[in-house]
Every structure is written in structure tokens, then in C-alpha cells.
Amino acid sequence: MEKQHAIKYVVKVILITKPFQKIHFTVRHPENALCLTGIAVLPNYSIAGVKVASSMYSKYDTTGILSLAIPNKGDVFYTEEVKTDTGDYRDIVERSIIPINNGKRFELKGKRFGYFDTEMPIHDALMEGYYEDLSMTSAGLVSAIAAIASVASNTSTPSTPVGYPLPNPINSIRTNYKVTLYLRYEMNNQNNLENPISC
Amino acid sequence: MARSKIIKEWVDVQVTANNQIFKANFEVDKHAGLIIGFAITSNADAMLYYRGSQRIVINDMEFYPEDYESKMLMQGLNVPTNERMTDLDEAILPGNRQVQIEYKDADHPSANFTPYRVRLYVYSKLQD
């Protein structure tokens, strides 16, 4: 009998369509799954290309909170603060590299995504999940909106006379995005069904 | 493992239109004993990072399902050269030696579409 894959990847896409949305979802474990061995969560919420928004965020801002739990027991076994993608992948070491030539930069991008390793035995057919959107609660965004609102009501610039509507930063922020949950399972190999290996 | 015992092959996917799925497949070298890893690159990294996802099938068995984002298989220049391969966590028998990629492009505000190329590398270990 030809060997089956001993590892299976499952992808669950969670769509967020409005601010502060709270979503309850379920994930069905694959058949013959022995153990959940890896978890990764990535949003496609990014402000990297949005000029107004990018100045309001730091890479430590939270896009949302995701939790995973065992069904009917409420036992949360995994929680993650999903961070906002700011398009800044240069770590502290790379920033200290001095450009050799004027006007040119030597850039390194050392980012790599990976799974959070775990060993959770699978006893149920389903897993429960919960996601809460917090993308509109970053400290920088709140203060920036307040600052812009103040400027719009009190001052003018040569390019924006009094009463001229300033760009609404809220409109520059995406409220439609997705969060992708990646799960890695160790499978009960077809050849081992009579003598299953414990997780 | 001796570096000479690793075979590196690749297949290109030309992404010529936005929000569509593009397929490509190829046959792993007949001397490959085990498939040990993948890597994915592009001539437009931002496109691949923000817009890309793919389904990968080896020997008619799905390894990465649909909506598996390309960013999960990418790595930056600061990652050591010998670690740039995405380890499969298990060595895969080539079987019928067919590797298929179904690459999906999707709109993203941080990367406006222009035609680009995606390259999937497959690393195999020589048969003994």
C-alpha cells in the first residue's frame, strides 16, 4: 500500500466585513487526524500601501483577537493577537546597516512566517473559534482622527482653505479583510490504523 | 546531507490577468527518491506576498489546500541561504512524480495588478 501523507494542512478563511465584528466559527478536523501540531494566523489587513493610514499605525497594533476552543467545553487552548501588517519587515539589525553609496540603500528582509508548534490530541470532530475585529482601535488611529477633526474645524492651509473637506481617514482604512487560520495535523497513517500511535 | 544529493527543479506560472487561477505542472526528476521541500518566488515580490495563494498537489494527493497564502512559503533575504527551503515536515515519495500548482491571484489594495511571474521550486533528494 502506498504511503499516505502523514501531515495534512487545513485552511480556514474568516471574512471581516465591518468594524468591531465578532465572528464565531467552527473548523472540522480532517478524518483520521491524530494530533494538531501547528497553528498559524495571518490577516491580509494591510496598511502598507495606504499613505494616510500607515502613519497612524505601528507594527505592534492589533488587527484582532482570535481564540480556539474545544467544543461544548469552552476550554480555550489557543489565543492570538493578530497584528497589523504595516509593510515594515526590516528588523533592528537591518536598520543599523549604513548605506555604502549616497542615495542607495542596502535592504534586507528577514521575515518568515511559521507555525506555532503544539501537540493537541484530537478527540472531537470539530473545533470552535472566535474572532473579534479590533482594527479601528489602534492608539495611533484614534489620536490621528481626533487631530484631523480638530484641524478641519479650526484651521486652513494654502491648499485646503477653511471649510474644504479634508480626506476622511476612516475611508482610507479597509474594513473588508480576511484572516486566514492555518492548521497542521499529524494524521493516523493508513498503515497504522490497527495500531494507532498516540499523540 | 551532501549538497550534491539535492535536486532543485522549478516550474513557472505566468500570471497574466487579475483574480484568476493559473495552473502548471511538471514531472520531478526520475532520479529523485524523496521530495523534501518547496520555495516560491516571483519577479514581483509584493504581488506574490499580498495577492497570491496556491494549491499544491504531489502524486495526486493534495499537500497545500486552496487559499494557502503564498506569504506562508516566502522568506526574506536575511534568512540564511541554506534555510530558504520550506521544509515539508515529512519527506514525500514522488510516486507518479507529478507536481501541480494552482496559483490564485486576488485583488489587494497594497499591490495593484500588473502581469507577473511566479516560480515554484521543488527540492528532492537523490535516490541512494
* pLDDT score of A124 more than 80: yes
Q: What is the 3-state secondary structure (H, E, C) of A27-77?
A: EECCCCEEEEEEEEEEECCECCCCHHHHCCCCCCCEEEEEEEEECCCCEEE
- Residue B110 binned pLDDT confidence (cut-offs 50, 70, 90): confident
Q: Does the distance separating the beta carbons of A40 and B72 come in below 8 Å?
A: yes
Q: Name the least confident of A121-130, B60-69, B75-84.
A: B75-84
Q: How many residues does chain A have?
A: 199
Listing from the earlier edge strand, what are the strands of the sheet with A126-133? A22-28, A126-133, A62-70, A75-83
CA-to-CA distance for B20 and B56, rounded, in angstroms? Answer: 16
| CA trace torsion B101, A13, A35, A32 (10° rounding) | -70
Region A101-128 average pLDDT: 74
With an 8 Å Cβ cutoff, are A11 and B111 in contact?
A: no
What is the SS3 assignment for B36-92?
EEEEEEECCHHHHHHHEEEEEEECCEEEEEEEEEHHHHCECCCCCHHHCCEEEEEEE
Exposed/middle/buried for residue A15 (C-beta within 10 Å: 0-12, 13-18, 19+): exposed
Of A50, A87, A112, the CB nearest to B75: A112
Q: What is the dihedral of CA B75, B77, B80, B82, to 10 degrees?
A: 70
Helix (H, G, I), strand (E, B) or coil at A140: helix
Which residues does B contribute to its contact with A (CB < 8 Å)?
50, 61, 63-69, 71-72, 74-79, 88-90, 92-93, 95, 108-111
pLDDT at A167 over 50: no
Q: What is the pLDDT of residue B86?
A: 86
Judge whether B54 and B99 are in contact, CB under 8 Å: no
- The distance between the two most distant Cα atoms of chain B, rounded to a whole number of Å, is 49
Going across the sheet that includes B6-15, the strands are B6-15, B116-126, B32-42, B86-92
Enter the ipTM.
0.82
Please report the pLDDT score of residue A146 as a whole number: 55
**Chain B residues inside the 8 Å CB shell of A46:** 50, 108-110
Which residues in chain A have Cβ-Cβ distances shorter than 8 Å to B76?
Answer: 89, 108-112
Q: Which residues of A touch B50 (CB under 8 A)?
A: 44, 46
Residue contact B110–A87, C-beta within 8 A? yes
pLDDT of residue A156: 46
Set of chain A residues whose Cβ sits within 8 Å of the Cβ of B108: 44, 46
pTM of the model: 0.76
CA A164 – CA A157 distance, rounded (Å)? 10
Give the residue-averaged pLDDT of A39-49. Answer: 79
Q: What is the pLDDT of residue B128?
A: 73
Answer whether A42's CB lies under 8 Å from B72's CB.
yes
Q: How far are the Cα atoms of A3, A65, A89, A91, B81 from residue B78, in angstroms, in the given order?
A: 36, 29, 10, 10, 8
Per the CB < 8 Å rule, is B75 touching A184? no
pLDDT above 70 for A52 = no
Q: What is the mean pLDDT of residues A1-24?
A: 83
Please answer yes or no on whether A46 and B109 come within 8 Å at the CB atom. Answer: yes
State yes or no: pLDDT of A33 exceeds 80.
yes
Give bridge partners of residue B6 from the DSSP assignment: B125
pLDDT of residue A155: 47
Other CB atoms within a 10 A radius of the CB of residue B83 amount to: 10
Contact B108/A46, CB-based, under 8 Å? yes
Task: Give the span between the Cα atoms of A154 and A18, in whole angstroms.
Answer: 31
Contacts of A94 in chain B (CB under 8 A): 78
Alpha-carbon separation of residue A45 from A41, A83, A84, B110 (angstroms): 12, 9, 6, 9
B64 forms bridges with which residues in the sheet?
A: B56
